[in-house]
Amino acid sequence: MLRLYDYLPSGNGYKIRLALARLALPYELVEVDIHKAETRTPEFLRRNPIGRVPVLELEDGTPLAESNAILWYLAEDTTLAPRGRLARAETLRWMFFEQYCHEPNIAVARFWKHYVPELSPLQKLDLPERMKKGYAALDVMERALARPFLVDGRFGVADISLYAYTHVAEEGGFELGRYPAIRAWLGRVAAEPGHVTIDQRPASARRAS
Q: Which of 41, 73, 183, 196 binds its own copies (CB under 8 A)?
A: 73
Contact 38, 44 (CB under 8 A): yes
| Nearest residue (CB) to its own copies, 95 versus 168 | 95
Helix axes 180-191 and 157-166, enclosed angle (nearest 10): 120
Q: Which of 24, 59, 85, 206 binds its own copies (CB under 8 A)?
A: 85
| Residue 66, burial from CB neighbour count under 10 angstroms (0-12, 13-18, 19+) | middle
Q: Which of 25, 69, 116, 184 binds its own copies (CB under 8 A)?
A: 69
Please count the residues of this chain forming the interface with its own copies, following the rule CB under 8 A: 37
Q: Which of 113, 115, 129, 200 binds its own copies (CB under 8 A)?
A: 129
C-alpha–C-alpha distance, residues 17 and 28, integer Å = 11
Residue numbers 87-116 binding its own copies by CB under 8 A? 88-90, 92-93, 95-97, 99-101, 103-104
| Nearest residue (CB) to its own copies, 96 versus 187 | 96
Would you count residue 119 as binding its own copies (CB under 8 A)?
no
**Residue closest to 150 by CA, chosen among 70, 207, 94, 78:** 94
C-alpha–C-alpha distance, residues 34 and 38, integer Å = 6
Would you count residue 118 as binding its own copies (CB under 8 A)?
no
Q: Which of 28, 31, 126, 192 binds its own copies (CB under 8 A)?
A: 126
Contact 40, 49 (CB under 8 A): no
Contact 204, 165 (CB under 8 A): no
C-alpha–C-alpha distance, residues 204 and 15, integer Å = 17
Residue numbers 146-205 binding its own copies by CB under 8 A? none
How many beta carbons lie within 10 A of that of residue 167, not counting itself? 21
Would you count residue 144 as binding its own copies (CB under 8 A)?
yes
Chain contacts with its own copies (rule: CB under 8 A): 49-50, 62, 64-70, 72-73, 76, 85-86, 88-90, 92-93, 95-97, 99-101, 103-104, 121-122, 125-126, 129, 136, 140, 143-144
